[in-house]
Structure 1
Amino acid sequence: MANFHNDQAEGLRRMLAGPRPRVFTFLSALPDEEKNAMLTNLGASLVRSGSDVLMLDARAAAGGIAAQLDAPRRASLLDVARQEGRMSELVQSMPQGFGVARLAHATVQARSQLEAAVQDDLLMRRLGQAFGTLAREHDIVVVDGELGVDDGFALPALAGGEIVVQVSNSAASIKAAYSMIKRLTSALGRRPISVVVSGVDERQAGVVHDNIAQVASRYLATRVELLGSVPADEHVGRAARLGRSVVEAFPLAGASLAFRKLAGRCSMADLAPAAGMRMAG
């Protein structure tokens, strides 16, 4: 099964060779609410910078980005792979300008089907093909991800994209983030991973990153890069209560400036060597 997962990741890199799309899978050492706020505002910032953005909810639990955005239930990638849905039914357009799709529905039945799919090579190939087709329709794919019991992704192809761990400056969050990086390294092998630091300024983010990077380099032989940071800013919550992104509602807020900078980093063609793996085969 490990070889199959590697084949899926390599297959994604071949299919997505070239400048588009970029696939970023975000894990988080913070509560769902904070992760979803970061993803929503990053997605909106990417759209405002001119990118065609897809947000993929790849979480098994109900706390993922699709539920947070109250996106209507449509066909999932798993439905398409099981030939119970159509590609045209996958994406729901959101007011923030990006589209939202689901890997699977957050139900007990869907979770059991997804777990069973991992043992079915044909179904997993269909799932990977459906994802590749969907990804090619967008410039950037932002994945709300999580690690499975085997420390890998439910969609193996995500291992071929860029992986980002959200962390804060609390000791518990830093410990949890390092644990995720250790699990990723165990499952995927040595590869670059990035962090985005929430709730701090750039200087503090640098300190958090340096702490994680030094330990990861020493004990895991893994390079950890700093993708960016977003300061604590009450405007984020105020914008959410208005049903808008902070970059739209309060464009001059500190968080808005940080999200625009983060979106710029994600859009840069030469980011891959520093923050993940280039999609070329």
Structure 2
Amino acid sequence: MARFDQAEGLRRMLAGPKPRVFTFLSALKEDEKSGMLVNLGVTLARQGNQVTMVDARASEDSIGAWLNASNDQTLLDVAQQQRTMKEAIKIVAAGLSVTMLTRNADCMAKLPPEGARQLSRVFDVVAHRSDLVIVDSEINLEAGFPLASLDDSELVIQVSADPDMIKAAYGLIKRVSNRLGRRGYGILVSGASEKEARLIYTNMAQAAGRYLAVPLHYVGNVPDDEHLRKAAHLGRSVIDAFPKARASLAFSRLAEQLAMSARTTLGIEGVPELGVGLGI
């Protein structure tokens, strides 16, 4: 078993990162993270991308709950041959679908190694059927992801201008880097102007470079915009409800840049400054 695990790890290392899969961690409240991801997913789909959103948290406020995905039809059920792939993936709109990884975190904790590998294979099938995969994830006490293959995805950390949230985001980066070693992380700042976001990113990048030897990359900012809250109250994405709002423009720019990076072999780490702020 040890030889198999080592061989699988070596193949994964040689294959390199998968730029089409973006795993999002957040220092913000669950509903703030989910709202951002839903708006991003809708915007990506409206721009002509085939997007699959994977709920790897299965909480009351994760993206599966926001998009009314069924937690009794999961990718783990597919891996265990209890459901078909078609049953486990919900079509939300043209170009946008959502699926649950598991029913809850306890499912992963009890999963034997072969079951975890089979689930990874099912996830890979989903990834190869999509232009982009957006994963709503978190880390466990050992700083591990619910799925081992997410180690190779592009990691994006969502943060705000709140000092406590900045500290929490830095803590996430430190914990994951202690386990994975040196690798890059994207920084997405919510509820801040471009000027504020770039200052937050610069300070975090300097600290991460100095104390962790970890490179950070500016992904962009989503400004504080009342239209986001109004759209959520209406049960709609901001780009559908208020297409000219500042937040809608920000999500459009962010989606364009993520899609462009996914079409390259470089991914986020090869694009130090994606620059999707609005200059407001």
Is TM more than 0.5 here? Answer: yes
Distance 1:16 1:194 in 2: 14
Aligned length: 268
Aligned to 2:25: 27
User: Does the CA-based 8 Å contact 1:151-1:184 persist in structure 2?
Assistant: yes
* More displaced 10-residue stretch of structure 1: 126-135 or 5-14: 5-14
SS, match of residue 187 in structure 2: strand
Counterpart of 2:55 (choices 54, 57, 62) is 57
CA distance in 2, matches of 1:6, 1:210: 38
Distance 2:246 2:10 in 1: 37
The CA distance in 2 between the partners of 1:164 and 1:7, in whole Å, is 25
Q: From 246, 258, 261, give the equivalent of 1:266.
A: 258
TM-aligned CA deviation for residue 148 of structure 1: 1.2
Worse-matched range after superposition: 236-245 or 68-77: 68-77
- Structure 1 unaligned segments of length 5 or more: list them: none
1:114 corresponds in structure 2 to 108
Letter in 1 for 2:132: I
Deviations 1:146-205 (A, max 9, x none): 001210101010111100000001110000000000011011111000110000111110
Which of 197, 201, 218 aligns to 1:226? It is 218
> Is this contact kept in 2: 1:13–1:160, CA < 8 A?
no
1:258 CA displacement: 0.4
Rounded Cα–Cα distance in structure 1 between residues aligned with 2:171 and 2:229: 29
Structure 1 residue corresponding to 2:129, chosen from 125, 129, 137:
137
User: What is aligned with 2:277?
Assistant: none
> What one-letter code is carried by the residue in structure 1 that aligns with 2:177?
T
Q: 1:5 to 1:212 in 2, by over 3 A?
A: farther
- Structure 1 counterpart SS, 2:64: helix
| Separation of aligned partners in 2, 1:9 and 1:31 | 36
In structure 1, the residue matched to 2:92 is 94
**1:168 maps to amino acid:** S
Deviates more, 1:141-150 or 1:97-106: 97-106
Offset of 1:11 from its aligned partner? 3.7
With over 3 angstroms needed to count, the CA separation of the structure-2 counterparts of 1:22 and 1:137, relative to structure 1, is same
CA contact 1:225–1:274 (8 Å) conserved in 2 = no
The 3 A distance-change label for structure 1 pair 23 and 172 is: same
Q: 1: distance between equivalents of 2:94 and 2:232?
A: 11
* Deviation by residue 1:223-281 (Cα, 9 ceiling, x = unmatched): 00110100000111111222211111111110011001110111114776462489xxx
Decide whether the 8 Å contact of 2:227 with 2:247 is kept in 1: yes
| Letter paired with 2:142 | D
Residue in structure 2 matching 1:82, options 68, 80, 83: 80
Q: How far does residue 68 in structure 1 lie from its aligned partner after superposition? A: 2.2
CA RMSD in angstroms, aligned pairs only: 2.5
Question: CA offsets, 1:104-163, max 9 Å, x none?
Answer: 013xxxx3331021xx22111101100001111110000000001210101010111100
Distance 1:10 1:253, change over 3 A: farther
Partner of 1:246: 238
Q: Provide structure 2 residue ranges, at least 5 long, that are not aligned to the other structure.
A: 272-280
3-state DSSP of counterpart to 1:94: strand
Residue in 1 aligned with 2:179?
187
- Superposition pairs for residues 189-208 of structure 1, below 5 Å? 189-208=181-200
Distance 1:121 1:73, change over 3 A: closer
How many angstroms does 1:77 deviate by?
Answer: 1.4
Deviation at 1:7, TM superposition (A): 3.5
Q: 1:90-112: CA deviations, max 9, x gaps?
A: 21011485101011013xxxx33
Secondary structure of the residue that 1:268 maps to in structure 2?
helix
% same residue: 41
Alpha-carbon distance change, 88 to 9 in structure 1, aligned in 2, over 3 angstroms: farther
Q: Secondary structure of 1:169's match?
A: coil
Code of the residue aligned with 1:112 in structure 2: it is D
Change (3 A) 1:156 1:58: same
* One-letter code aligned to 2:230: R
Greater relative contact order, per chain length (Cα 8 Å cut-off, separation 6+):
1
Residue pair 1:198, 1:232 contacting (<8 A) in 2 also:
yes
For normalisation by structure 2, the TM-score amounts to 0.88
Question: Is the Cα contact below 8 Å between 1:162 and 1:193 reproduced in 2?
Answer: yes
CA distance in 2, matches of 1:195, 1:104: 27
